[in-house]
């Protein structure tokens, strides 16, 4: 699972003082598993592994306990990578989760060329600067999971993804102490890609 370094602990209470709704998280995990089906990550891992890692990063790293953020972490790729829609996410999990999923969903590129796709992705990543904090937390956890397998990807992809992470994601981590420290350590570990 995710290499979190520190911040591990037992069960946590939500920011409102209640406990995390494990049944609700189970429903989100099951919906994500259903929507992603047999999809695999570029590493060959089942897609659900990445989603569970993002959840683990949030709970064991910075200690996030907000139910909507945790549910959105499990569902963050369903609109982008499956036939699911934001409306379906909202119907099943409410408007707050749907909004967070919408913020972290990369829109389809207009046109099919590689340059159009890269430009659309850059615009999406720049837009995240205006996202609510909760959406940034989901994106930061998503990227923590993604960059841990960077050494298993082709060299040109590694360099491009490293640069993209430094340009767009690391600045989002600055106001979040745990993520700031984690990305600083990761940056040193992968400095050879600079």
- The residue that leads in pLDDT, 14 or 142, is 142
pLDDT value at position 9?
Answer: 37
- Is pLDDT of 7 > 60? no
Retrieve residue 120's tokens.
């659309």
Among this protein's residues, is 80 annotated catalytic?
Answer: yes
- Is pLDDT of 69 > 60? yes
Retrieve residue 33's tokens.
């598993």
Catalytic residue among 45, 66, 81, 91: 81
The residue written with tokens 């491009």 in the block is 160
Q: What is the mean pLDDT of the segment spanning 147-154?
A: 91
Other Cβ atoms within 10 Å of 85 Cβ, number: 13
Residue 117 host element (H or E): helix 114-127
Catalytic residue among 21, 77, 80, 96: 80
Cα separation values, 10 from 4, 65, 68, 140, 162, Å:
14, 12, 20, 22, 32
Instruction: Give the tens place of pLDDT for each residue, 168-177.
Output: 999 999 999 9
- The residue that leads in pLDDT, 99 or 4, is 99
Three-state DSSP state, 57: helix
Other Cβ atoms within 10 Å of 179 Cβ, number: 24
Q: In this structure, is the dihedral angle defined by the CA atoms of residues 38, 118, 134 and 182, taken in order, positive or negative?
A: positive
- Is pLDDT of 41 > 60? yes
**Quick one: CA torsion of 35, 72, 169, 179, rounded to 10 degrees?**
-130
Instruction: Give the tens place of pLDDT for each residue, 96-138.
Output: 999 999 999 998 877 778 888 888 889 999 999 999 999 999 9
Q: What is the mean pLDDT of the segment spanning 86-96?
A: 98
Among this protein's residues, is 88 annotated catalytic?
Answer: no
């Amino acid at each position: 699972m995710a290499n979190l370094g520190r911040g591990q602990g037992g069960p946590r209470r939500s920011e409102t003082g209640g406990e995390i709704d494990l049944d609700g998280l189970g429903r989100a995990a099951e919906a994500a598993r259903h929507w992603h089906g047999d999809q695999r990550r570029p590493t060959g891992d089942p897609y659900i592994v990445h989603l569970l890692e993002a959840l683990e990063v949030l709970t064991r790293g910075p200690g996030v306990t907000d139910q909507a953020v945790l549910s959105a972490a499990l569902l963050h790729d369903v609109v982008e990578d499956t036939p699911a829609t934001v409306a379906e996410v909202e119907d099943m999990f409410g408007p707050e989760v749907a909004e967070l999923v919408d913020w972290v969903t990369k829109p389809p590129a207009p046109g099919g060329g590689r340059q159009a796709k890269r430009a659309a992705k850059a615009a999406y990543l720049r837009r995240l600067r205006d996202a609510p904090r909760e959406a940034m937390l989901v994106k930061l956890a998503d990227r923590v999971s993604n960059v841990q397998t960077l050494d298993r990807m082709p060299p040109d992809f590694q360099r491009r993804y490293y640069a993209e992470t430094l340009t767009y994601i690391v600045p989002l981590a600055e106001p979040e102490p745990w993520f700031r420290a984690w990305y600083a350590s990761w940056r040193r570990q992968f400095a050879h890609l600079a």
